[in-house]
Amino acid sequence: MAAALACLIAALPAAAQQATPSAQIRAAYDAAFQDTLRNPTDPPTLVRYADLAVQVGDIEGAISALERLLLIDGDQPRVKLELGVLYYRLGSYEAARTYLESARGSGHASPEIKDRASQYLKEVDSKVSKSQFSGDLLFGIGYSSNANSGAGGANQTFGATAVTTPNVSQRPDFNVVGAATIRHRYDLDRQDNGALESELSFYTARQFQVSEANVTLVEFTTGPRSSPFDSGMLDDLTVRPMLTGRYVAVQDQVSYWAWGAGMETTTPLGPQINGTLSVFGRRREFLNNANAPTNNQSSGNEGVAVLDLRVELTSYMTMSFGANFTKFVAQSLPQSYTEFGFGTGLEVRFADPLGINGRTWSATASLSMAQAAYAAPDQTINSLVARNQNDVNLGLILTIPLNDSLALIGQANYTQRTASLSTYAYEAFTTLVGIGWRF
């Protein structure tokens, strides 16, 4: 029995990370099932079948085998822990709670078992509560070969008028980066699965030397999500009308406030494809400050449309595609622009290659491009040439989980902007190493 339980501990978590089962694994699973019919009370046979059942996606079969182990010996905290995890994966939260509490309360449970059971019990509580919080936090140290491009890129993304200039461009610097996304979901207790969903996002980058590149962003979005169609091809479609607000500061000075409203629609487009379309309008109100005394001339209205597609190629590989369109009409015509963009990314999840803790690592590579055309020349820079620019961004992120909630994150990005006016052109290579916390 002790040997069987040792196999169970090692096999089940790893099995949950396997890719689509091969014909060989499927054949082994079928053979193991026949073995359980011949030896229904043999612990090694039950453990092997439970392992293979998880690998082929038969969670119910794995649960059946593990519950038979408990009939042989009822005080097995590790088996109860795995049963709690499997019931949690099925969405049977009350059954998961029963096994997890029993595992945590067993006198034979190790501190590791008690700690893991407590973590899953917290997850169960959050799933059954009408009010649920979740989020991601990141703290890191970064370096850029062109520190000022960080603020320049943010300014363009957020529509500010401050730009990189030759006397500060290409200044390398280190920075401290902090980012967070806090999500809240409140179940409205309706038949259409209605829930009020809210997100609060925060980002800040503080430079060691190039203080003009300090950037802070705070954004809040809220709105009810529901499934208006209860039958037919659109029964999985959800819609979410939303309100949004944003605050941006550059060089420790308020750059602008923004507010608006829009609609988000999400639906599966196939067995492994999900699509999201977001459309919204927003008002940007720029404020003059010591660093940008004519900032208010950029105040205006914008319309944005964003399309995202996520394709689960395999259980360990996900590809994403995105496209966006922005039309910004500013108070000053030279600050008005139209922008098109698209991008793609590939996330690959793989087993710990160094044997550190046996958890699943992930690597994400991305490519995005954007083209912006401004409505008229800016008389203060060039009275004959209107600003046009093209951006290319390459990114790579490596995530190494340290436990169920903490991860070591490494990131590298290369950005190149070409422009009709050399004042706005730059390139930068940035790196970041940080700790991420998910709750």
CATH topology of domain 131-438: Porin (2.40.160)
Does the pLDDT at position 236 exceed 90?
Answer: no
- How far is 285 from 297, CA to CA, in rounded Å? 9
Give me the sign of the Cα torsion angle 378, 384, 386, 389.
negative
Q: Which amino acid is at 205?
A: A
* pLDDT single digits (tens) 366-385: 999 999 999 999 888 888 99
Least confident range from 259-263, 376-380, 391-395, 429-433: namely 376-380
Any idea where the domains of the chain sit in the sequence? 2-128, 131-438
* pLDDT single digits (tens) 34-89: 888 888 888 888 888 888 888 877 888 889 888 888 888 777 888 899 999 999 88
Nearest to 308 by CA among 345, 270, 363, 262: 345
Q: What percent of the chain has pLDDT over 70?
A: 89
The average confidence (pLDDT) of the chain is 85
345, 366 contact by CB (below 8 A): yes
| Total residues found in the chain within this entry | 439
For 41: left if phi > 0, alpha if psi spans -120 to 50, otherwise beta; the answer is alpha
Q: What percent of the chain has pLDDT over 90?
A: 46
Give how far the C-alpha of residue 369 lies from the chain's centroid of Cα atoms, to the nearest Å. Answer: 20
- How far is 261 from 281, CA to CA, in rounded Å? 6
* pLDDT single digits (tens) 141-158: 999 998 766 544 433 333
Q: Which residue has the higher pLDDT, 414 or 90?
A: 414
Nearest to 256 by CA among 335, 182, 326: 335
Does the pLDDT at position 2 exceed 80?
Answer: no
The pLDDT score that the predictor gives to residue 362 is: 94
Does the pLDDT at position 165 exceed 60?
Answer: no
Quote the pTM value: 0.70
What residues pair up with 238 in beta bridges, in sequence order? 266
Does the pLDDT at position 26 exceed 50?
Answer: yes
| CATH class as words, domain 2-128 | mainly alpha
* pLDDT single digits (tens) 300-357: 999 999 999 999 898 789 999 999 999 999 999 999 999 999 999 999 999 889 888 8
The pLDDT score that the predictor gives to residue 169 is: 53
DSSP 30: H
